[in-house]
Structure 1
Amino acid sequence: MPNTSFHSSITEPKTQWLNVILLWVAGIAAAMQFAKFSVSFDDLLAHYQAGATSTGAALSAVGIAGLVFGVSAGMIASRVGYLKVLVGALLLGGGLSLVQSTLPPFNLLFITRMLEGFSQLGVVVAAPTLIAKLSAPQHKSLTMGIWGTFFGVAFAVCGWAGKNILDQYGLQTLFLSHGVFIMTIGVVLFFKLRKNPVLDLVPVTEIQDGFFKQMIKIYRNPRALLPSCVFLFYTCTLVSVLTYIPGLIGDSSLQKLMLVVLPLISTSGTFLAGAIAQYLMRPQRVALMAYFGVAASVIVLSLISGSAELFCVVVGVMVLFLGMVPGSALAMIPTLARNPSEQAQGYGLLAQFGNIGATVGPPTFATAIAMYGLVGLVVLVLCVCCFGVLFSLWAGRIKAVV
């Protein structure tokens, strides 16, 4: 009875760890689309002479696609197929990096950056949906915690290996290396997953309503919306904290150290949240604990005066709690979603809200700090934590899907 044994092997709740790690590497490759321009910002300024504003716009242009098309990406992925979307997005990203490696005119470079946004969006919608499908129920929060570290890891790798490539071989080699890397992982995933029996079971959802009706349904679905709202207030805050808090430290050597250490602490918090959500408590409670931790840390921060070292320690604790928010938000989606299509919609909405937060947060925090200094930062972080706590409590009232 070969069919029976085949069916039983499919239904066994086993986590395919190698495939999960490969999908995580795909996320790192996609996040490097941000990181490669961040690490090479000064070199791009020198080469193109386009000015800091235009070059900065080229850096953030990758986020435009997620800002506009985040929700629809989840809908499209559920119809076309997650693996097709993932592999197509990775190959598109690789091709665009190869174009960038020729150092084309600035206008063309800017267009490639906008198109890279679709590549990045395809990966962040499809990859976590596939990871959740390849994870046993007892490991889903843990694998989502691993997935949530991809952005910080990408920046750390680019800050180390990317900077070395840039310093020794220049811009062209940096972009060429990224192109080869992202295309390679795309090809590997295609051959590794195309005949995977678990992924054959992913249903392709037919969209019966109109496109806009379907989008409204997604926004009104608390299982997709609430994890994204929890995530929104994190992205508002973390980018701003990593950018502006080092400037509030009086010691220049500590400033440089914090620029390196804080992203790593944030990444550790994300993985820690996944582990806690897996073994100790529901992801909604982890998010609640994280926001309370951020609020307590920033209150302590406002009471410290004179000691730069102590200030750095408290900031580190605050960033650790902040880093726990995305780990818990990502773990919420497979916990609450009723099917893979709903998961993809949740990840699409998460990408959209994340881009909104990253767009709105930094100028808001910059204004508050410029006008009121540390007090402005503290008050704004406390306001953010109030909203984070509210949405975490609301999400906690939804019954999880077993």
Structure 2
Amino acid sequence: MSASAETSVASRWDIVTVAMMTGILAGMQIGKVAPALPILRADLGLDLVTGGWVASLFTLAGAAVGALIGASADRIGPRRAARFSLLMLGIGSLWGGFSDGLTEIMLSRSVESLGFIGTAVSCPRLIVGAVAPKDRNLALGIWGTFVPAGMTIAMLMAPVAMPAIGWRGIWILNGCLALAMIAVLAWKTRNASWTPPDAAAAPMSPLQGLRLCLGRGGPWLLALTFFAYSMQYLSVTAWMPSFLMEARGLEYEIANYMAAAVVAANMIGNVLAGIMLGRGMTRQTVLLFAFAGMALCAAATYGPWFDTAPRIVAAILFSAIGGLIPGALMAATPVHAPATTLVGVVNGLMMQGSNIGALTGPPLIGAIVTFVGGWHGATWHALIFCLVGSVGAVLLGWRERKLDRA
């Protein structure tokens, strides 16, 4: 039975599930760093800025060539692209677990970054091809939870696993899980097809598809808006355990459980975005509400006004409200793709913007906190990029209204 979104009688939620499992594994490779960061910094004598680079280097490949990887994934097909991505995640994580120093950890994280961006661009293509059009917003909204879901699992595991197997054992375990997932993905999608209705057109090379997408305004606006979101969200979550331990005096285990709650809250917004869009709310409205909420909650988290408990509540709300943004943006990739065969290219360009923000955000926060001498400096970081994201949301809304009139 074809899983094409345009021709399938019913949505293949089993394929959506296995794509989600793949994405969650990729998200775990982000989440495993935050609990280990205080230990890594202590073991290797890293300052805040260098520690931020360890956290963010995972996004290097996506920041550098995300759109081209998306075009290549469209060319070879989502099944093969997803399997190759899992292979890169597995190799990178195992290499990091057996590494001898900071340089090897950095290099291994770069390999993992190839796997992450490959997963991020191929799995949505699996999902778009596996669900009926009426279920697309919901399915892609659910897909938007893959990063916070994976991060939450990794952060909840850390207080138990870290004393037992150390950070190296966590890296090795994650590598083995990624390699095992290759077989699960291959088996579950063995009889499915992702040939879209416009596939009869002359095939395009990755560079041709990339040029076509770069000539449209929508993909650029998706990338800009996701950049503004990731600049804040992954910066806050990567540093949350350190912030709670260093600035608020929490113990390691409590700090990581609270940080995991912050990350997990993001999934609420991811799913809610799909529901809101499905009920007729415009993408611009969802995005503007989310950026305004993130700005207020970031000020409450890092400003000088509250004790620890209200700050944690504000951080949880920051994450939950912010979750509306990836849910809304990921549901927009089919809207702004010039053809169904180019969904991966648009998604790759959007993820490139996201990964640039994730790559530069954590070290930038570390530099700001170091420069001003306190975590209150992170408030200005959030406010600036909420403003940038709001501009992107307004322009994206204008673009979609223009498409509706065409």
Task: Classify the TM-score, shorter chain.
Answer: 0.7 to 0.9
> Which amino acid in the other structure matches residue 66 of structure 2?
G
Task: Mark the CA change 1:376 to 1:82 in structure 2 (over 3 Å): closer, same or farther.
Answer: same
Whether 1:232 aligns to 2:227 is yes
Task: Mark the CA change 1:367 to 1:350 in structure 2 (over 3 Å): closer, same or farther.
Answer: same
Residues 249 and 308, structure 1, Cα contact 8 Å, conserved in 2: no
Q: Which residue is 2:203 aligned to?
A: 206
Task: Mark the CA change 1:400 to 1:368 in structure 2 (over 3 Å): closer, same or farther.
Answer: farther
For residues 119-159 of structure 1, the C-alpha deviation after alignment (integer angstroms, 9 at most, x for no partner) is 11211110111112212212212111211111111121112
Task: Mark the CA change 1:218 to 1:382 in structure 2 (over 3 Å): closer, same or farther.
Answer: same
Q: Report the Cα distance in structure 1 between the residues aligned to 2:10 and 2:140, rounded to whole angstroms.
A: 15
CA drift of 1:163 comes to 4.3
Q: Which residue is 2:277 aligned to?
A: 277
> Which amino acid in the other structure matches residue 213 of structure 2?
I
Q: Report the Cα distance in structure 2 between the residues aligned to 1:126 and 1:96, rounded to whole angstroms.
A: 19
In terms of mean alpha carbon deviation, does 263-272 or 230-239 score higher? Answer: 263-272
In terms of mean alpha carbon deviation, does 12-21 or 99-108 score higher? Answer: 99-108
3-state secondary structure, aligned to 1:264: helix
CA drift of 1:385 comes to 2.6
Q: Which residue is 2:32 aligned to?
A: 36
Q: 1:219 aligns with which of 202, 214, 229?
A: 214
Q: Which residue is 1:264 aligned to?
A: 264
**TM-score (norm. length: structure 2):** 0.81
Q: Report the Cα distance in structure 2 between the residues aligned to 1:250 and 1:101, rounded to whole angstroms.
A: 30
Residues 35 and 155, structure 2, Cα contact 8 Å, conserved in 1: yes
Task: Mark the CA change 1:293 to 1:11 in structure 2 (over 3 Å): closer, same or farther.
Answer: same
CA drift of 1:73 comes to 0.5
Q: Which residue is 2:20 aligned to?
A: 24
Q: 1:186 aligns with which of 182, 187, 200?
A: 182
Q: Which residue is 1:324 aligned to?
A: 324
> Which amino acid in the other structure matches residue 137 of structure 2?
S
Q: Report the Cα distance in structure 2 between the residues aligned to 1:144 and 1:333, rounded to whole angstroms.
A: 10
CA drift of 1:327 comes to 1.2
Q: Which residue is 1:349 aligned to?
A: 349
Whether 1:66 aligns to 2:62 is yes
Q: Which residue is 1:286 aligned to?
A: 286
Q: Report the Cα distance in structure 2 between the residues aligned to 1:60 and 1:299, rounded to whole angstroms.
A: 23
> Which amino acid in the other structure matches residue 228 of structure 2?
F
Q: Report the Cα distance in structure 1 between the residues aligned to 2:321 and 2:37, rounded to whole angstroms.
A: 29
Task: Mark the CA change 1:276 to 1:109 in structure 2 (over 3 Å): closer, same or farther.
Answer: same
> Which amino acid in the other structure matches residue 233 of structure 1?
A
> Which amino acid in the other structure matches residue 23 of structure 2?
G
CA drift of 1:276 comes to 1.8
Task: Mark the CA change 1:63 to 1:364 in structure 2 (over 3 Å): closer, same or farther.
Answer: closer
Gaps of 5+ in 2: none
Residues 210 and 345, structure 2, Cα contact 8 Å, conserved in 1: no
In terms of mean alpha carbon deviation, does 37-46 or 21-30 score higher? Answer: 37-46
Q: Report the Cα distance in structure 2 between the residues aligned to 1:114 and 1:246, rounded to whole angstroms.
A: 26
For residues 188-217 of structure 1, the C-alpha deviation after alignment (integer angstroms, 9 at most, x for no partner) is 111221321355768397336x94x76454
CA drift of 1:76 comes to 0.9
Identity %: 22
Greater relative contact order (CA < 8 Å, ≥ 6 in sequence): 2
3-state secondary structure, aligned to 1:14: coil
In terms of mean alpha carbon deviation, does 198-207 or 187-196 score higher? Answer: 198-207
Matches within 5 A, 1:1-400: 11-41=7-37, 49=44, 51=46, 57-103=53-99, 107-199=103-195, 203=199, 206-207=203-204, 211=207, 215-242=210-237, 243=239, 246=243, 252-253=249-250, 256=255, 258-297=258-297, 305=305, 308-366=308-366, 370-371=371-372, 377-397=378-398, 398=400, 399=403
Q: Report the Cα distance in structure 1 between the residues aligned to 2:299 and 2:158, rounded to whole angstroms.
A: 37
Number of equivalent positions: 395
CA drift of 1:86 comes to 0.9
Residues 291 and 389, structure 1, Cα contact 8 Å, conserved in 2: yes
3-state secondary structure, aligned to 1:352: helix
Task: Mark the CA change 1:359 to 1:250 in structure 2 (over 3 Å): closer, same or farther.
Answer: closer
> Which amino acid in the other structure matches residue 63 of structure 2?
L
Task: Mark the CA change 1:178 to 1:381 in structure 2 (over 3 Å): closer, same or farther.
Answer: closer
Residues 228 and 329, structure 1, Cα contact 8 Å, conserved in 2: no
Q: Look at both structures and tell me which one has the larger radius of gyration over its CA atoms.
A: 1
Residues 235 and 365, structure 2, Cα contact 8 Å, conserved in 1: yes
For residues 333-369 of structure 1, the C-alpha deviation after alignment (integer angstroms, 9 at most, x for no partner) is 1233343333111211122111211233344445555
For residues 369-393 of structure 1, the C-alpha deviation after alignment (integer angstroms, 9 at most, x for no partner) is 5539787555543332332222212
Residues 93 and 182, structure 1, Cα contact 8 Å, conserved in 2: yes
Q: Report the Cα distance in structure 2 between the residues aligned to 1:202 and 1:168, rounded to whole angstroms.
A: 53
CA drift of 1:99 comes to 4.1
Q: Report the Cα distance in structure 1 between the residues aligned to 2:158 and 2:245, rounded to whole angstroms.
A: 28
Task: Mark the CA change 1:143 to 1:249 in structure 2 (over 3 Å): closer, same or farther.
Answer: farther
**TM-score (norm. length: structure 1):** 0.82
3-state secondary structure, aligned to 2:305: coil
